[in-house]
Amino acid sequence: MSTEILINVAPFETRIARIENGMAEELYIERTRGKGLRGNVYWGKVQRVIPGIQAAFVDIGLDKSGFLYAGDVPGARKDNVSLESEADVDENKDASEEVNDEQYKQNIAPIGQLLKEGQEMLVQVSREPISSKGPRVTGLVSLAGRYLVFLPELDHVGIARRLEGDEERERLLAIAEQIKTEKGGLIIRTVAEGHSQEELQQDLNFLIRLWEDIAKRKNTSAPGSMVHTELNLYLKVMRDFVDDEVEKIHIDSKEAYNSMKKFAKRFMPEVSKRLYYYPGDRPIFDVYGVEEEVNKALKRQVPLKSGGSIVIDQAEALIAIDVNSGSFVGSRNLEETGFKTNLEAVHEIVHQLRLRNLGGIIVIDFIDMQDEENQNKVMEVLEEALKRDKTKTHVLPFTSLGLVQLTRKRTRDSLGRMLQMECTRCQSTGFVKSMQTICYQLFREIVAEARAYPSEKLMVIAHSSLIDLMLGEESEMVSQLEEFLGKEISFKQDEKLEPDHYEVVLL
């Protein structure tokens, strides 16, 4: 499979697209005024401790306080026993998520014994603010390098789940045990495969120096101050997501290209030869068709090549996806039509989940299939397609109603929520009042105004589309209204008004 990464850098925004077989599969956006917080470290101050939910809110100098769960506080575990060193971990999670298994949660001390209001502490943002929620923070800081993740507050050695091969895993775990110090634990990242002890030691030395610098900076910082910021987006993506599959990385900024070259030379020399500066006049996202894909990803309905479609509706914590056969009639019977459309839809659904970064609970309403073998095949294809998704997902089988439920980890706002705003006319319902409904609403207001205030005439000021309706299809109703009120009604067009806005003036 051919995989490339495109990096579009502007003073106000950085956008990165992962291209697989010529199609944009993932998109990352960082705006200068709204730079992501995940990974940033703050010297915070506990605002409120809430024993009922085993959590606290920590002031880190932002508009919204950080939410801190008891299990994310250093020393939270009563028995103080570290996890098994052989534990598989997800290298893209923060340290607190890795250690919070069910057994761990049962041994957590009450939040009131761990924290007091007004207490100052070092915390790291583990999850970006989403919608109306503030950021989630953890006291278990983790610092990611090229080959390792350093865990200053934990005595723990783990290895990435995606790193395969028992012999290589054992070799790397042995190296980790040898280089590990009393200053903290380690997670071995996937990209460490095949690398030497010397390279891992250099990575660890850098991370330890970084941690010591953070520890010193907090001593001279006021509560609510940031003491460490994560790498900018293009360096972070190069560190975390450039693997052996990525053949080329195209950058349209000379400054960013030089910065990435310098970073690669120090931390990942094998990637340096895959970096290419793109000097073209035509925008790089246009060349690869990414802009078109982004525009499609903002629409509710996505067409399928067969003539069918999928419809995606996003609520606060639930994504509903409906599969429709549409004009597809290429099969002999309804069962076969539904099966073939569902198979095609599976690949588009996974593509849209990744591109739109949809997370939370996702419910897919596939076209009804009675044949259990067909259902099993659709599930098999879905699970296979999701293997390419680096974001953690969990899939449940078909329900008795023919629905498939899955969960996908929410790591940041979806593409739609990042690029769009709530519609001021429909309040995000997707619907507005029909012109006839507005017309009859106006008639009721005319009656109320005429009865409340004495006048001989009334004037309606409205958009031409509403006036055309009243003088056209509803002209007879206007005449009856004039007769009913004993008053003349005149009309004046104002194209500056929205079609559903109007004024009633007494003359």
- State yes or no: pLDDT of 209 exceeds 80: yes
The closest of 194, 173, 26 to 89, measured between CA atoms, is 173
**Residues 349-375, mean pLDDT to the nearest whole number:** 94
Q: What is the CATH number of domain 41-229?
A: 2.40.50.140
* Distant-in-sequence, close-in-space partners of 330: CB < 8 Å, separation ≥ 6: 306, 337, 340
Beta bridge partners of 120: 45
- What does the pLDDT read at residue 169? 93
d(CA 489, CA 92): 67
**Can you tell me the mean pLDDT for 98-115?**
68
The whole-angstrom distance between residue 266's C-alpha and the CA centroid of its chain comes to: 30
| Residue range 36-43: mean pLDDT, rounded | 90
For the chain, which residues make up each domain, given as ranges?
Answer: 3-34+234-291, 41-229, 298-419, 435-506
Name the pLDDT band for 92 (thresholds 50, 70, 90). Answer: low
pLDDT band with cut points at 50, 70 and 90 for residue 331? low
Residue 160 CA, distance from chain mean position: 22
Dump pLDDT digits (tens) for 185-205: 999 998 888 889 998 998 898
State the pLDDT at residue 192.
87
- Residue 83 Cα distances to 86, 87, 100, 138, 312, angstroms: 9, 7, 10, 18, 41
Using the Cα atoms of residue 32, residue 37, residue 41 and residue 43 in order, give the sign of their dihedral: positive
Residue 105: per-residue pLDDT: 56
Average pLDDT for residues 17-32, to the nearest whole number? 92
| pLDDT exceeds cutoff 90 at 408 | yes
pLDDT band at 100 (very low <50, low <70, confident <90, very high): very low
Q: What value does the mean pLDDT take over residues 381-399?
A: 91
Q: Is the pLDDT of residue 91 over 60?
A: no
Residue 237 tokens, joined: 């993506």
- What is the average per-residue pLDDT within 334-359? 93
Is the pLDDT reported for residue 328 higher than 90?
Answer: no
Cα distance between residue 137 and residue 127, in whole Å:
7
Q: Is 347 helix (H, G, I), strand (E, B) or coil?
A: helix
CATH assignment of 435-506, among 3.50.50.60, 1.10.3720.10, 3.60.15.10, 3.40.1260.20: 3.40.1260.20
Give the chain's largest Cα–Cα span.
Answer: 97
Helix 464-471, helix 475-485: angle, nearest 10: 80
Q: What is the mean pLDDT of residues 314-333?
A: 79
Quote the pLDDT of residue 451.
86
Confidence (pLDDT) at 170: 92
pLDDT value of residue 96: 45
How crowded is residue 238: how many other Cβ atoms within 10 Å of its Cβ? Answer: 26
- What is the average per-residue pLDDT within 6-34? 91
Contact residues for 133 (Cβ-Cβ < 8 A; gap 6+): 64, 67
3-34+234-291, CATH topology level: Nucleotidyltransferase; domain 5 (3.30.420)
> Does residue 152 have a pLDDT over 80?
yes
Prediction pTM value: 0.71
d(CA 70, CA 52): 11
**What pLDDT score does 81 carry?**
37
Give the pLDDT confidence of 242-298 residue by residue, as tens digits: 878 899 999 999 999 999 999 888 777 889 999 999 999 899 999 999 999 999 899
**Average pLDDT over the chain, rounded to an integer:** 87
Q: How far is the CA of 287 from the CAs of 250, 290, 300, 354, in angstroms?
A: 12, 8, 25, 21
Structural contact between residues 7 and 14, judged by C-beta atoms closer than 8 angstroms: yes
Instruction: Judge whether residue 373 has pLDDT over 90.
Output: yes
Q: What whole-number percentage of the chain has pLDDT above 70? A: 93
Strands 41-50 and 225-228: antiparallel
Q: How many CA atoms lie within 13 A of 59 on its CB side?
A: 12
